[in-house]
Amino acid sequence: MKFTVEQSALVDGVNWVSRSLSTRPIMTALLGIVIDASGDEVFLSGSDLETSSKAHFAADIKEKGKVLVPGRLLAEITRSLPNKPISISLDGSRVLVTSGSAKFTLPTLSLTDYPNLPELPEPTGVISSDTFANAVAQVAIAAGRDDSLPTLTGVHVEVNENTVTLAATDRYRLAVREIQWQPSQPGVSTTALLRARTIADAAKSLVGAKNVSVSLAPTASNDRLAGFSGDGKTMTSRMLDGTFPPYRHLLPQDITSTAVIEVAPFLDSVRRVALVTDKTVPLRLEFANAQLSLEAGAGEDAQATEILDILLTGEPISIAFNPTFLADGLQAVGTPFVQISFTGSSKPAILMGKAESNSPAIENYRYLLMPMRYAS
């Protein structure tokens, strides 16, 4: 095997594939990246058996061949090299990596032990990479981190023809985003539960592509796989087992009051006031008389207060939130203003973005936040 490739193409491909490598694999072969040079392209692949990634790019191939090399070492080496053509060749049981005067020699791993990687399911639909990345980021923040509750560590994907609904929850908050896409066939309808870390990583990494093709194996399929592809890169991942909890009934309908607040000063105030206490201690908010009062701390402990001007419609309300979760929601709406809708001080509130203080709320993204109890 011997080929020459541009440094940027190799780094892009190796970085993509190395994301699927395990730090503690069940077999040595899974530490490696497969390099397969054939025709006029190089194909890379890597896997931890749960997630598999592949990439391909054009190269000047002198001799075709296939080899397995330590993946993370290859990634570190290629990233460190200057922006010049890189030559990779197989010399016995070693792989030589050369760029200008820099030369590296890598050991090879046994290809015999390397598993067969799954192929992408048939495409379910296509969406703009920017839209996909933004939507996934807005939802993934609400996914749980507790692996003892695996169902809550996922993003629920519901496809109904032209509409895709993403949802995630950790029991303390819920994020829901609706996006439009181009289904691969009319009448398509399916659901999937995907690891939040995996879908977030894939969406963020595929931003450079114009569009992302999403592939969801049919519900009746024995091998429940999801796949993402774009710009010569693909990723497949096994879906999570279990049933995502019903959530639509949690979205409040009987609104008693709404507050419209400019996001930037509100977010700054939340962070400042929360400095005096632990991040899991309630941040108290009082909405009344066109003002918002933020308070944290009590008794002999450090205390902080701040007041903001707001637009308030409906009844005054006092409520408390986890300051970290509130800040996450304010960042996620991605608009200059936020509308917070209330049904009571002991019931969830809904955050939605607004382009202007007097413009309609943007209803394709809703961030539900559970209140916290506090001593009055």
Judge whether 240 and 193 are in contact, CB under 8 Å.
Answer: yes
pLDDT of residue 221: 65
Q: Are 337 and 263 in contact (CB under 8 A)?
A: yes
Beta bridge partners of 164: 159, 179
Banded model confidence at residue 326, pLDDT cuts 50, 70, 90: very high
Does position 232 have pLDDT exceeding 80, yes or no? yes
299 Rama sector, left if φ>0, alpha if ψ -120 to 50, beta otherwise: left
Residues 6+ apart with CB under 8 A from 275: 304
Please determine whether the domains at 2-113 and 125-248 fall in the same fold group of CATH: yes
**Residues 227, 167: contact at Cβ < 8 Å?**
no
* Amino acid at site 357: S
Out of 238-247, 297-306, 308-317, least confident range: 297-306
Convert the pLDDT of each residue in 49-78 to its tens digit.
999 999 999 999 999 999 999 999 999 999
Per residue in 172-185, pLDDT tens?
999 999 999 999 99
pLDDT at 376: 57
Question: Does CATH number 3.10.150.10 belong to domain 125-248?
Answer: yes
Contact of 139 with 166, CB cutoff 8 Å: yes
305 Cβ neighbours under 8 A, 6+ residues apart: 273, 293, 294, 295
Rounded CA separation 268/241 (Å): 39
Contact 297, 278 (CB under 8 A): no
Residue 105's contacts (CB-CB under 8 Å, 6 or more residues apart) are 94, 95, 96, 97
Neighbouring C-alpha atoms within 13 Å toward the C-beta of 16: 31
**Domain range list for the chain:** 2-113, 125-248, 251-369
- Give tens-digit pLDDT for 12-52: 999 999 999 988 888 999 999 999 999 999 999 999 999 99
Cross-strand bridge partners of residue 293: 286, 307
* Fold topology of 2-113: DNA Polymerase III; Chain A, domain 2 (3.10.150)
The pLDDT, as a whole number, for residue 349 is 97
* pLDDT of 160 above 90: yes
Task: Reply yes or no on domain 251-369 having CATH 3.90.1420.10.
Answer: no
Q: How many CA atoms lie within 13 A of 326 on its CB side?
A: 30
Decide: 226 and 216 in contact? Cβ < 8 Å: yes
- Pairing, β 163-169 against β 173-180: antiparallel
Contacts of 117 (CB under 8 A, 6+ apart): 45, 47, 52, 54, 236
User: Is the separation of the CB atoms in 68 and 108 below 8 Å?
Assistant: yes
